[in-house]
Structure 1
Amino acid sequence: MFFGGMAGGALGSVVPALLLTAVILLGIFMTFLATKLLSHTVLKGMPSSFTLELPPYRRPQVGKILLRSLLDRTLFVLGRAAAVAAPAGLLIWVMANCRVGGVTLLNHCASFLDPFAHLMGMDGIILMAFILGFPANEIVVPIIIMAYTAQGSLLELATLSEMKQLFVSHGWTWITAVSVLLFSLMHWPCSTTFLTIRKETGSWKWTAAAMLLPAAAGIGICMGFTAAVRLLSSCLF
């Protein structure tokens, strides 16, 4: 919407492709950077090893494969998601429909977060949407649209041009778009991933680290990017 995605011809495909490539490369770079920092701080001196043991070969049994896939890969994941999604859905509905002083609870929280979000190149609604999108990252944009249109339930707009017009009318610029991209890349994982990390590590400490480390990186990068662009703009204009 903001970087050639709605333009025709080569520009409409080349610019978004380059931007997506840059985002992927940034994610890889941040992964290596975080690993380097951890190995020189909290994990300093701790031995690490990787052992790959191949199990004995057995003839595949279709019934067991389907059953294990259904239980392990589908039902367990859906169960973890439902455990968080149901109460989170209720919370989103309450915040979007309950009013205090004529203003929804969602807008009250967004107003409280707005000064901090402004430092990150966003607004309080966007930051609140990321927080409420913890059950599933896919609902972040629908929550933003719901708050901007003052609706009481999640919805989607018909076209990208309509969505861009809504965003621009609420103060979005290319800086906002880049900040949202960066924070989408960096911020905390969704609820299902959170529960999986807790199950696999067996530690609340490392589960919290897996939440806080990317969030801190995302906040820091968004603030640094926004401050640099605003400083450069003030110097040039």
Structure 2
Amino acid sequence: MQRSTPRLTRILACAAVPVMLVLAGCSSDSGSDAGKGSGSSSSASQDQQGGQKPATVAPAKYTKLPNPCKSVSTKTIEKLVPATKSKAGTSGKSSDITSRGSCSWNGLDDNGVKGSQYRWFDVSFLRYDSETSLGVSGQKRAENNYAKEISKAQATDGAKNVKTSPAKGVGEAGTAIRYELKKTGEDFSYATIVTRTDNVVITLTYNGTGYAGAKSPDSADLMESAVAAAKEAVASVGVANS
């Protein structure tokens, strides 16, 4: 009983002071546990203040796409496809015109005994939004898919003599792919431009052949025309978002 007196006295003394003082100075029996609790609280506070924060992703620069059938001027269409069936073009189907769209033109220029010249021209747009949850910007997504579109063009089924080179002055990044492809018993020449302007990827294809003894178009001429048209398509993205 004598040994328990000091402990009893201390308990009674703690009971006589305010509760906050009891918590601060009268918990010696659980001092080690209290220390651990305090350390955990401090660590949690540090995690909240100095821990890793979600990456900040800039919003996509372009939020709209141009009307694909108006992305290239009528004058250019008349030059590329002289006998086009419709100068207004044929719009491709899209479930989301703010993210993807396309348009095509084709025509057969019949020159009688001199043969005929067939041309096909199309342009497509792909726009990428930023993915905040993944920490990926729209521009980065477009860069990744720009590379995929190039690979897709290079791997066209049946393509021969594929040649790839930079398309200088077209968008922020541009690649020219030319090749030959046999269709309907004729040798077609192809000129494809894949370009990127920030978070938008544009793919433009221009091809043609000669029928009834007419010569096939020169691939260099096709590419020159394709580059000029691609510059117009790139500019149309900026206009649509101005």
TM-score relative to the length of structure 1: 0.26
Higher helix share: 1
Larger C-alpha radius of gyration, 1 or 2? 2
TM-score relative to the length of structure 2: 0.26
Higher strand share: 2
